[in-house]
Amino acid sequence: MVCHAVRSCVLSDRIDPEIDKSERADLAEAGPWTLPLDAWHREQGARMVEFAGYWMPVQYEGIIAEHLWTRENAGLFDVSHMGQLKVSGKGAAEALERLLPGDISALKPGKVRYSLLLAENGGILDDLMVTNAGDHLYLVVNGATKWDDIAHLHEGLPDEIVLSHLDEDGLLALQGPKASAALAKLEIRPLPTELKFMQAGPFLWGDVPLGISRSGYTGEDGFEINVPAAHITALAGALCEQPEVKPVGLGARDSLRLEAGLPLYGHDLSEETDPVSADLTFAISKKRRTEGGFPGSERILGLLSDGAARLRVGLKLDGRMAGREGAGVFSGETQVGAVTSGGFSPSLQRPIAMAYVDTACAVDGTALAIEMRGKRLDATVAPMPFVPHHYYR
């Protein structure tokens, strides 16, 4: 479980506003911390690595095997390192809406929305999921940025809005075409399999409260499950007793999201990128495109109107060598961009990548090259996702 000393110095019913950047850096650097499932992962034979300030399982039986299992069956991911936040109080949706480009006040109870936390210049501070949980808003933010996100939200929200860190809860993701069948066997009430993509609700597993959404980060059907940390080992064990389910580590999570064309913060997204260049304009609601009123709106709406200089694109590479983050992308002898994520696709049996390239080179089918270790690898701009999504709609 996350160190109690961290909780006591940061958290109360309302997040402490006096935590400055150096203290937040100390919190991040004081780890790696262990998560509630740490011992369980080690019992399953996981190889543990430091990630986002925590010890996390990178693989169990192998990245490719776990990747393909998830595409065909159901993989169980521990994502308890993510930041789970609760925003409550009168006018919470309207207050949060001033920090995000989505129409949060129109989000109906039980609905989930992808959104972006934006800087004043329109740069992306983080991407996140927002759920209308009825009497409050539930946010899931990236683990590597959660302390800065908490501070930014605290600073941007009015005093009457309460921001709470749900640090006593864990988070599991059950992903794959057989996730629904496996979850149905656990006698959770009501049936979570009645949910559709981007819907959520409160559930009970025996007397254990769960928050379940039909969402995920693999492109497959699946669920994310908020569970009290005291019960997460029992829940993980019960799920993995099902023949459809195996535990899956960070390595396959990354290759799955890359095939699904889903960006990773800190790699494909950063404060130097904006929603238009990142091809995330769907996160800007129709109302906000007209009214603005969110951080960086003047710049972002201008980019929507005039176009961005660079765009995030998918690339399919020839051969077997993968293009890695930071590799230059060339059109002839002119560098026109850089790779932000790359790897070998187990599903397609070829290397794929994401990159930011000059807009003139962002057309599907454009022939480019990636420079790796002094060699040029032929690449072609390809539509994303590389592997079709299979969300349950």
CATH of the domain at 364: 2.40.30.110
Is residue 190 domain-shared with residue 339, that is, in the same domain?
no
Nearest to 9, CA basis, from 22, 304, 198, 108: 22
**Same-domain pairing of 265 and 368:** yes
Q: Which pLDDT score, from 0 to 100, does residue 28 have?
A: 54
Same domain, 233 and 300: no
> CB of 102 within 8 A of CB of 283?
yes
106 and 79 co-located in one domain: yes
Do the domain assignments include residue 166?
yes
Domain count within the chain = 2
Helix (H), strand (E), coil (C) string for the chain = CCCHHHHHHHCCCCCCCCCCHHHHHHHHHCCCECCCCHHHHHHCCCEEEEECCEEEEEECCCHHHHHHHHHHCEEEEECCCCEEEEEECCCHHHHHHCCCCCCHHHCCCCEEEEEEEECCCCCEEEEEEEEECCCCEEEEECHHHHHHHHHHHHHHCCCCCEEEECCCEEEEEEECCCHHHHHHCCCEECCHHHCCCCEEEEEEECCEEEEEECCCCCCCCEEEEEEEHHHHHHHHHHHHCCCCEEECCHHHHHHHHHHCCCCCECCCECCCCCCCCCCCHHHCCHHHHHHCCCCCHHHHHHHHHHCCCEEEEEEEECCCCCCCCCCEEEECCEEEEEEEEEEEECCCCEEEEEEEEEHHHCCCCCEEEEEECCEEEEEEEECCCCCCCCCCC
- Rounded to whole angstroms, how far apart are CA atoms 392 and 161? 34
Q: Which of 223, 258, 293 is the last residue of a domain?
A: 258
Does the residue 392 lie in any domain? no
> What's the token pair of residue 218?
């693999």
Say what the pLDDT of residue 31 is. 74
Domain boundary among 218, 243, 258: 258
What residues does 175 pair with on adjacent strands? Answer: 75, 222
Residue showing tokens 């109360």 = 12
Asked whether residue 388 is domain-assigned, the answer is: no
47: nearest Cα among 37, 34, 56, 36: 56
| Residue labelled with tokens 């949980």 | 133
Angle, CA 65 vertex, CA 59 and CA 70 arms, to 5° = 90
Residue 100, token pair as written in the block: 């995000």
251 assigned to some structural domain: yes
First CA to last CA distance, the chain = 35
Residue 282 resides in a domain: yes
Q: Which residues pair with 322 in a beta bridge?
A: none
Angle between helices 146-156 and 21-29 (to 10 degrees): 150
Please check whether residues 103 and 218 belong to one and the same domain.
Answer: yes
Q: Please give the C-alpha separations between residue 332 and each of 220, 328, 368, 376, in angstroms, as whole numbers.
A: 37, 12, 7, 10
85 and 208 together in one domain? yes
Q: Are residues 54 and 110 in the same domain?
A: yes
Is residue 224 within 8 Å of 215, Cβ to Cβ? yes
Q: What is the pTM of this model?
A: 0.93
Asked if the structure places residue 190 within a domain, the reply is: yes
Does residue 393 lie in a domain region?
A: no
Does 287 map to a domain? yes
Give the type of residue at 105: S
Beta carbons of 225 and 238 less than 8 angstroms apart:
no
pLDDT for 274: 98
Looking at residue 348, what is its pLDDT? 98
Residues 53 and 21 in one domain: yes
255: left (phi over 0), alpha (psi -120 to 50) or beta: alpha
Instruction: Mark whether 99 and 167 lie in a shared domain.
Output: yes
Structural domain boundaries, residue 190: 4-258
The confidence score (pLDDT) of residue 9 equals 26
In a shared domain, residues 289 and 155 = no
The tokens for 25 are 């850096």
Please check whether residues 195 and 230 belong to one and the same domain.
yes
Phi-psi label, residue 206: left if phi above 0, alpha if psi -120 to 50, beta otherwise: left
CATH of the domain at 85: 3.30.1360.120
Claim to verify: residue 377 and residue 228 sit in the same structural domain = no
Please report, in tens digits, the pLDDT of each residue of the chain (393 residues total). Answer: 222 222 222 333 344 434 455 555 555 566 799 999 999 999 999 999 999 999 999 999 999 999 999 999 999 999 999 999 999 999 999 999 999 999 999 999 999 999 999 999 999 999 999 999 999 999 999 999 999 999 999 999 999 999 999 999 999 999 999 999 999 999 999 999 999 999 999 999 999 999 999 999 999 999 999 999 999 999 999 999 999 999 999 999 999 999 999 999 999 999 999 999 999 999 999 999 999 999 999 999 999 999 999 999 999 999 999 999 999 999 999 999 999 999 999 999 999 999 999 999 999 999 999 999 999 999 999 999 999 999 999
Q: Which of 258, 288, 303 is the endpoint of a domain?
A: 258
